[in-house]
Structure 1
Amino acid sequence: MRIGEKLRKLRLSRGLTQEELAERTDLSRSFISQLESDKTSPSIDTLERILEALGTDLKHFFSDVEEERIVFKKEERVPVYDEPEGVKSEILMSGVEDKEIDPILVTLEPGAQTEEESYHEGSEFGFVIQGRIDLYLDGKRYRLKEGDCFYYKADKKHYVKNPGKKKAVLLWIMID
């Protein structure tokens, strides 16, 4: 079995670039590239970390049988690595090969903000669960409080910031 080819197909099925996978796993893009071209082999720990970021595990990766996932437990959430200080993000659905949404739970400490994302395809939806946030789209600020939500096409530079003095929690969904 060519692990690299299978990893590449899995990554592409998730709509991720090598760089995005590298960020989620705290590995280098060049290492991901070498893995996918079968020029190197990962340790079991590294493979498990990559598979977790891709929403699966060793058992499902090496199995040809796929079951539909209905329930996603809190303890199965995948942390997003390399977030700015004061920002904690968790991917809520793991083990889903062909999902068209990518829901993330984002927690922002007071004053913290996410990294600015460049233009990309798709749309994004957010719901403020707790606190307040400022949403910035191409430099324009939108203020939201607990219970408010947003939706926009991702053809704008965007990020969120917690302007408050209390923690903010946001459900952020990227839609293909």
Structure 2
Amino acid sequence: MGLIDQNPASTTDITSNIKEYFSRKFQDYTVLPNDNSGEYLLDVMVTNFTPLNIIESDRSSLSITLDSIENHIAVESELGGSGGSSAYGVQKNVVEDFVKLLLVNAKYKIMIFTSLPFAGERNHVSNRVGNLREIYLKVCQNDQGVLLVHLPGTQTSSTQVQASVHGISGFIISGNGEHVGQIAT
């Protein structure tokens, strides 16, 4: 079952469903956070390790339990957040999480975000994706690029942004950051 199938009604429910989706989809891996951990660097990480099980003790020494420690998928979601009650506030929160995502080592990176238009702004989603591409160029580049998933946002009150799973847009920033392709949704 996917995120849209569950039809979450609130931004909090959407965030919970994102985490649950990755936990279900990647059951053969360690998905952080989980019942045995708090948030570990990002909103979601699909790894080949459990942080507390990297070392073991035989009472006289410590040994490393893994041949490699890999983060396969890194996910950040920003759907409003603290101070995200305006187009500028929401985008500041998105940028903060996006930079964090780019700085973490992972083969695949996914940013799930919402945005609000400035008064009279046309094509605000395209503008926000363009901003993220520029940041990508300044922070890092990798072979796979970054998957951007945009959830439409509305301002339901002067202090709250409501994201929706209806009308989702997908974009891929190319590995070298020169292109952004839109994904059919």
TM category, shorter: under 0.3
Q: Give me the TM-score of the superposition, normalised by structure 2.
A: 0.27
Higher share of residues assigned helix: 2
* Rg comparison, structure with higher value: 2
